């Protein structure tokens, strides 16, 4: 009997064979008949959005104790006008007009907010490539079921939670789930013991992106059974929180009801005591009650909140409920996500070490504009940038050159080389717009491997064959026998360079070392045995930089007495460095990890 896929199943701990056995599937995928049966059983692979009807949203505008009082007043005044001939039609008209105005304003504003929220939820992967009936097929991602085999390649958005069983040079951007801005290398091997989502290297999750490589995986979770679906479900099930304004209004309404009833009864009793007629006493008391009700208060409050919500909308902030706008005024602590919120989610080279010189690089993000300090570049510095540019599989795209396809780290290397304005690179960008054009032709590649921690490419340049290598400083420096210094080749001092690398790492920079090797002109391919006696050129250090507006925002929050905390899946060292740049925690220097909270 088929096992029921569950969020509780630790798929990452099972071998691929065990996963296939549990799901009664295989590398050849499912048949069309079986997929239809499972679709009926598990439902569509989509997150449900419970949209309120326009009528329900309209009725919800009346859900306020103060509105109840106004409606009751309108009913009483209209009844008295009909029954007793009292001249109270003007009161009735004003009260009804206020209620209608309040309702229309709230209805329109909440409608806009819900439409924006729904549009965000509908940003789903439209199609997926699967193995069906033994062959490849492209289907709607919403029709994926547990047991389906999905084929992924660089640039794809993952359509469901998958247990990988085949990968080749594959990495995924999981910032949407973990907050980690760096791509995660993926492999098909099971993981022993308990692992967090960020450490489940044999899994890819719905809503994340494949930055490079190819892979195949079997679907283990769809819809609300995915990790992102579980998060969405928790949000939907969160208990509704009453805002401070709503509580104040409810307290005021209760006080108003008691006070008006007390005054009305007292006035009626007093009128009877002085021997006025019962009808007259009743009309006078009701008139007093209606006059005491602040008919304009709901409209004034709604209009004030609508103005605040509109101002926030101009800043691309969506407020689904009007009272939530007032809640921001009571804020004392803001807990903000890091990646993409406080930072640009665009890796940027900020520091380069080459030829014994430290270079500082200005500019942030993928905009290829910036300056180098010092501005004079040595031959080895130019070589460092060229290795980062040509030993690279990413691409800078867009008319403004502000977007990167591929690994964000490789994108940062491309942009840093473009900032330098090296003539050879400028010609390639103007001519072909890729790293494969111009006079530098790639002949072969040794792809990056998480165990080897480096990548190498073989190029032809004006009849010369040259190997470019980039990778972790420890690994690349260990493969070097010489270094370039002021354009000359000399023996390498590994200890001094590694010490500099450690100094840069303390600034939470992600480091990549660059090296090269000239080989015979008849060489057409390379393997790992060729990567010895390299010449070291330099180290590039990059980081996901803070947004300028985030720095200003943190400063303004502090001046307003609001404390800002940063929430991230990054390592503690990286988090502290970014927090320092943002001005967060500068007084307390505190960082809490998941282990501290558990």
**CATH number, domain with residue 33:** 2.70.150.10
Same domain, 417 and 532: yes
Q: Is residue 571 part of a domain?
A: yes
**CATH number, domain with residue 369:** 3.40.1110.10
Same domain, 278 and 219: no
The SS3 assignment for 165 reads strand
Q: Is residue 482 part of a domain?
A: yes
Contacts of 270 (CB under 8 A, 6+ apart): none
| pLDDT for position 437 | 46
Residue 192 to residues 13, 14, 22, 202, 451: CA-CA distances in angstroms?
A: 6, 9, 18, 11, 18
Q: How many CB atoms within 10 Å of residue 147?
A: 23
pLDDT along the chain (598 residues), means of 10: 61 95 93 94 82 75 74 77 68 78 74 60 71 90 95 90 93 82 87 88 93 92 88 64 74 85 91 85 79 73 75 70 72 85 87 96 89 94 96 79 79 93 67 52 87 91 92 95 96 95 87 96 92 97 88 90 85 80 71 73
Q: What is the pTM of this model?
A: 0.60
Q: Is residue 488 part of a domain?
A: yes
Contacts of 556 (CB under 8 A, 6+ apart): none
Same domain, 408 and 267: no
Same domain, 223 and 294: no
199 is catalytic: no
Which phi and psi angles does 433 have, rounded to 5°? Answer: 70, 20
Write down which residue in 207, 235, 263 finishes a domain.
235
Q: Is residue 5 part of a domain?
A: no
Q: CA-CA-CA-CA torsion for 373, 374, 378, 380, nearest 10 degrees?
A: -40
Same domain, 553 and 506: no
Question: In the chain, how many domains are there?
Answer: 4
**CATH number, domain with residue 556:** 3.40.50.1000
Same domain, 366 and 297: no
154, two tokens = 């660089």
Nearest Cα neighbor of 45 from 171, 197, 222, 258 is: 222
State the residue range of the domain holding 222. 11-39+124-235
Nearest Cα neighbor of 468 from 555, 385, 344 is: 385
**CATH number, domain with residue 110:** 1.20.1110.10
Write down which residue in 189, 207, 235 finishes a domain.
235
Q: Which of 148, 173, 199, 337 is catalytic?
A: 337
Buried b / exposed e over 464-494, threshold 16 CB at 10 Å, is: ebbbbbbbbbeebbebbebbbbeeeeeebeb
Q: Is residue 2 part of a domain?
A: no
Residue 409 to residues 61, 171, 334, 414, 471: CA-CA distances in angstroms?
A: 50, 12, 30, 9, 11
Write down which residue in 304, 330, 356 finishes a domain.
330
| pLDDT for position 241 | 59
């Amino acid at each position: 009997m088929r096992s029921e896929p569950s969020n509780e199943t630790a798929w990452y701990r099972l071998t691929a064979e065990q996963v296939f056995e549990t799901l009664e599937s295989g590398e050849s995928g499912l048949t069309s008949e079986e997929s239809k049966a499972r679709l009926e059983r598990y439902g569509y692979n989509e997150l449900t959005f419970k949209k309120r009807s326009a009528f329900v949203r309209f009725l919800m505008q009346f859900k306020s104790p103060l509105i109840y009082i106004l409606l009751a007043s309108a009913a009483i005044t209209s009844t008295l006008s009909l029954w007793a001939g009292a001249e109270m039609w003007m009161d009735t008209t004003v009260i009804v007009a206020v209620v209608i105005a309040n309702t229309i304003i709230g209805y329109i504003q909440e409608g806009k907010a819900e439409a924006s929220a729904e549009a965000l939820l509908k940003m789903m992967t439209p199609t997926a490539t699967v193995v069906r009936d033994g062959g490849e097929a492209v289907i709607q991602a919403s029709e994926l079921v547990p047991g389906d085999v999905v084929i992924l390649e660089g640039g794809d958005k993952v359509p469901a939670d998958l247990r990988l069983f085949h990968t080749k040079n594959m990495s995924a951007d999981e910032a949407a789930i973990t907050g980690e801005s760096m791509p995660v290398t993926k492999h098909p091997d099971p993981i022993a013991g308990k692992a967090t989502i960020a450490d489940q290297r044999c899994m890819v999750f719905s809503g994340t992106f494949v930055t490079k490589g190819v892979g195949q995986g079997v679907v283990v979770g769809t819809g609300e059974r995915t990790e992102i679906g579980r998060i969405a479900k928790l949000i939907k099930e969160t208990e509704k929180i009453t805002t401070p304004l709503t509580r104040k209004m409810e307290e005021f309404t209760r006080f108003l009801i008691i006070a008006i009833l007390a005054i009305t009864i007292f006035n009626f009793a007093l009128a009877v005591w002085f021997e006025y007629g019962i009808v007259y006493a009743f009309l006078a008391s009701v008139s007093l009650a209606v006059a005491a009700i602040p008919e304009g208060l709901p409209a004034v409050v709604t209009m004030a909140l609508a103005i605040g919500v509109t101002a926030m909308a101009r800043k691309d902030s969506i407020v689904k409920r009007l009272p939530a706008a007032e809640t921001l005024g009571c804020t004392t602590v803001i807990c903000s996500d890091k990646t993409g919120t406080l930072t640009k989610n665009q890796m940027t080279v900020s520091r380069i070490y080459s030829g014994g010189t430290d270079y500082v690089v200005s500019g942030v993000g993928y905009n290829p504009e910036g300056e180098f300090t010092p501005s004079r570049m040595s031959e080895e510095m130019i070589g460092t940038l060229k290795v980062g540019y040509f030993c690279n599989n990413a691409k800078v795209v867009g008319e403004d050159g502000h977007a990167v396809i591929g690994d964000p780290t490789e994108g940062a290397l491309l942009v840093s080389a473009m900032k330098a304005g090296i003539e050879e690179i400028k010609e390639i960008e103007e001519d072909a717009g890729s790293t494969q054009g111009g006079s530098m032709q790639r002949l072969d590649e040794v792809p990056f491997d998480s165990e080897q921690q480096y990548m190498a490419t073989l190029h032809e340049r004006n009849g010369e064959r040259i190997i470019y290598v980039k990778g972790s400083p420890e690994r690349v420096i260990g493969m070097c026998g010489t270094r370039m210094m002021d354009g000359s080749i000399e023996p390498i001092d590994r200890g001094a360079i590694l010490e500099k690398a450690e100094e840069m790492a303390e600034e939470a920079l992600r480091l990549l070392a660059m090296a090269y090797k000239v080989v015979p002109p008849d060489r057409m391919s390379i393997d790992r045995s060729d990567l010895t006696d390299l010449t070291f050129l330099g180290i590039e250090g990059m980081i996901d930089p803070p947004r300028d507006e985030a720095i200003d925002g943190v400063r303004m929050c502090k001046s307003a007495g609001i404390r800002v905390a940063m929430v991230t899946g990054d390592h503690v060292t990286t988090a502290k460095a970014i927090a320092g740049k943002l001005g967060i925690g500068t007084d307390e220097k505190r960082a809490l990890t998941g282990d501290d909270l558990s």
